[in-house]
Chain A
Amino acid sequence: MIYFYDGTQTSFLTAFLLAYGDADAVLTSGSMQLALGEETRFVKADPARAKKAEKRLLALDAGCMEDLSTLLRSGDCDRDMVAMNYMRRIAEQGGPVRNMLADDAVLAAVECMRRVSFEVHRFHGFLRFMESESGALYAPISPDNDIADLLLPHFRKRLPAYPFVIHDVRRKKAAVYDGVNTFVAPLERAEVVLSADETAWQALWKNYYRSVNIPSRERLKQMRGYMPVRYWKFMPEFRGE
């Protein structure tokens, strides 16, 4: 049986409860090719059931809901099954499994979670704000994983005096700090009027970036390893004059 769910945690837990007894269950939130005669079921989020599943799982592993939330943010195409198999292992084992690193299901989940949190760490560095006329900061991003809101606490702590918008242009949503509160909202396109100095600061930064390089030691391969090209798009130092 194939269980379709909408990608949310509540819906996942509802589906998990339904599919748990079915050893051949496939769980998915994306589209998939159906083989002829394949049985399918569209799972609607059921908060009461989800709560029940959550309670049971939490009793086995107090950290498992955090893990699940991380897994469901992953942009990997197999993340639904990775999450399903991981939660199933917790249930079978009757306790935390995250250190059982020789277990395939655990290893897949641990690596998937690591990719998500690594990308959060990367964006703490690679995200670039631009200053708008009002003084608010705007940063477009296009991350592999659904992490825009995970970036909020870091930048809020760091820049409490500056309202900011982190815009995931791929998922068309924004993580916002309005100077007091943080929230997430859908955002298709943003029109940003830049502050008078913004272009000059960007130019100064590009100038710095060029000056600090040691050309006789060029190692582009290594540079791209640390900072894959897909992240360059919104960084002023890589945009032409």
Chain B
Amino acid sequence: MISEEKLKILTESAKYDVSCSSSGSNRKNEGGTGNGYVAGCCHSFTPDGRCISLLKMLLSNDCIFRCKYCMSRADSDVPRVTATPEEVCELVMDFYKRNYIEGLFLSSAVHRSPDYAMEQLLVTVKKLRTEYHFHGYIHLKGIPHADEKLVREAALYADRMSYNIELPSEQSLKLLAPQKSKESLLLPMRQLQRERNIFKAEKRKGHFLPAGQTTQMIVGASPEPDGQILRLTQSLYRVTGLKRVYYSSYMPVVHDSLLPEVPAGERREHRLYQADWLLRFYGFSAEEIVEEDGNLSLELDPKCAWAMRNLHLFPIEVNRAPLEALLRVPGIGARSAYKILEARKYTKLDFSGLKKMRVVLKRARHFITAGGKFYGAEGEAIRGYLGAAEAKQNAVQLSLFSDRETVLSALTGEL
């Protein structure tokens, strides 16, 4: 059994990775233990409000790289530990059968060399799948600069892989993560995506990253504006075919003259997630949301901000508007939009009907008519109401990086 001290160190160095989702894989139990849960599943919540879905840890924190923002970097004075593949496998199996976790999120520092670190990750997941017959969820981090053969083989065993872009521009990467380069991160992502497509097209047997790839960007450690970040995000979704982009607002865990001393605002992170949803589920493009060198409004959520710039498109009539238009109404989320589509087949909707259906009207009422009736404010006066409506919701809405949130917001997010 792995020692408490070792697990503590390997967990604490992995916990700032915000992706914890266990969704997207329907891997079956083929004689052994475990299976996928397409919608993802939270097993616990920590006092910081985040979901525990996967056992999130590093295989080793013993790094030869020197990324300025990272406490495992080669020149930092921390205790170094490395777990054996067996220790990790045993831990996963025993946690999993007690239903503590949905699977494993395994990452590693660049231990000895990129190839060595990647190989150790590969050995671990391969062992889990072939010797321990584990069919639960595995998310594996890729090591930049590692041999592509190792990466390709790992993809046969993992449900999801991720290379963290970390910094939204080549320049910042050079400055803060000198051993990484944009290419060392983007090339393996593109390679994996290409091979995943081929794998699917040829209907090959087995699995090749059924839950796809994700990435993460640190926000606020470097000067890139939201407009630039969201354009990068958009191309990662559209061109590279990623499933999710995570944002993690910068927290100073190490001190360096090149890094800001203060944590980045969580509100900015929150706004980026909202904009990200608009890209993925609401049919918006990055260009509609914010100009390239601009930042998202902290005062209004991005959908409200967009609507305020496009008041000439409103109000729309809920009994007639097509789905795409409903989805663009501030305060009407995907779930409400679908409810409206269903319910209006049977009856003409008025405001009391909408209320009964639990459609939140605080913001929406300024942008819709129901049965020809309008109860909103006009023009710029709306702005004040929108800000106030959000302030009330904040207790529940802030922080978006828990797994249940991912799932529910996709379905119910009332943006």
Nearest CB to that of B405 among chain A residues?
A226
- Let me know if A211 and B251 touch, CB within 8 A: no
Instruction: Report the minimal beta-carbon distance from B53 to chain A, rounded to whole angstroms.
Output: 8
Instruction: Report the minimal beta-carbon distance from A35 to chain B, rounded to whole angstroms.
Output: 30
With A222-B399, A225-B396 as given contacts, are A128 and B98 in contact (CB-CB < 8 Å)?
yes
Encode contact with B along A98-125: 1 for CB under 8 Å, 0 otherwise: 0111111001000000000000010011
**A169 close to chain B: CB less than 8 A:** no
With A212-B15, A216-B251, A223-B46 as given contacts, are A204 and B399 in contact (CB-CB < 8 Å)?
no
Nearest CB to that of B11 among chain A residues?
A211
Instruction: Give the chain A neighbours of B1 by CB distance below 8 A.
Output: 197, 200-201, 204
Pick the interface stretch among B123-131, B178-186, B272-280, B342-350.
B342-350
Instruction: Give the chain B neighbours of A127 by CB distance below 8 A.
Output: 99
- Let me know if B98 and A219 touch, CB within 8 A: no
Of A126, A205, A211, most buried by chain B (CB within 10 Å of CB) is A211
With A102-B343, A201-B94, A223-B49 as given contacts, are A129 and B399 in contact (CB-CB < 8 Å)?
no
Encode contact with B along A187-231: 1 for CB under 8 Å, 0 otherwise: 000000000010011011101110111111111111101110000
- Let me know if A226 and B402 touch, CB within 8 A: yes
Of A104, A139, A218, A219, most buried by chain B (CB within 10 Å of CB) is A219
Nearest CB to that of B344 among chain A residues?
A102
- Let me know if A99 and B48 touch, CB within 8 A: no
Pick the interface stretch among B31-39, B205-213, B322-330.
B31-39
- Let me know if B399 and A219 touch, CB within 8 A: yes
Nearest CB to that of B29 among chain A residues?
A157
Which listed residue, A124, A203, A216, touches B4 by the CB 8 Å rule? A203
**B199 close to chain A: CB less than 8 A:** no
Q: Which of B1-39 contact A (CB under 8 A)?
A: 1-2, 4, 7-8, 11-12, 15-16, 29, 31-35, 37, 39
**B100 close to chain A: CB less than 8 A:** yes
Nearest CB to that of A237 among chain B residues?
B44
Encode contact with A along B315-354: 1 for CB under 8 Å, 0 otherwise: 0000000000000000000000001001101110100010
**Chain B interface size, under 10 / 10 to 19 / 20 to 34 / 35 or more:** 35 or more
- Let me know if A213 and B47 touch, CB within 8 A: yes
Nearest CB to that of B42 among chain A residues?
A125
**B97 close to chain A: CB less than 8 A:** yes
C-alpha gap A162/B94 in the complex (Å) = 12
- Let me know if B15 and A211 touch, CB within 8 A: yes
- Let me know if B97 and A212 touch, CB within 8 A: no
Instruction: Give the chain B neighbours of A103 by CB distance below 8 A.
Output: 346
- Let me know if A99 and B395 touch, CB within 8 A: no
Instruction: Give the chain A neighbours of B357 by CB distance below 8 A.
Output: 101-102, 107
**B404 close to chain A: CB less than 8 A:** yes
- Let me know if A125 and B43 touch, CB within 8 A: yes
Nearest CB to that of A98 among chain B residues?
B342
**B45 close to chain A: CB less than 8 A:** yes
> At the interface, is chain B mostly helix, strand, loop or mixed?
loop
- Let me know if B396 and A212 touch, CB within 8 A: no
C-alpha gap A88/B386 in the complex (Å) = 41
C-alpha gap A220/B48 in the complex (Å) = 7
Instruction: Give the chain B neighbours of A226 by CB distance below 8 A.
Output: 42, 45, 49, 51, 402, 404
**B356 close to chain A: CB less than 8 A:** yes
C-alpha gap A194/B33 in the complex (Å) = 21
**A168 close to chain B: CB less than 8 A:** no
**B95 close to chain A: CB less than 8 A:** yes
- Let me know if A101 and B342 touch, CB within 8 A: yes
- Let me know if A208 and B55 touch, CB within 8 A: yes
**A130 close to chain B: CB less than 8 A:** yes
Q: Which of B364-406 contact A (CB under 8 A)?
A: 395-396, 398-399, 402, 404
A-B contact pairs, 25 of them (CB 8 A): A99-B343, A100-B347, A101-B357, A102-B346, A102-B349, A124-B37, A125-B41, A125-B44, A126-B43, A131-B98, A137-B98, A159-B97, A197-B1, A200-B1, A207-B7, A208-B7, A213-B15, A214-B50, A216-B251, A218-B48, A219-B398, A220-B49, A222-B398, A222-B399, A237-B44
Given contacts A121-B41, A223-B45, 16 further A-B contacts (CB under 8 A): A99-B342, A100-B347, A129-B97, A157-B35, A161-B32, A200-B1, A201-B94, A208-B7, A211-B11, A212-B46, A212-B52, A214-B48, A214-B50, A217-B49, A222-B395, A223-B46
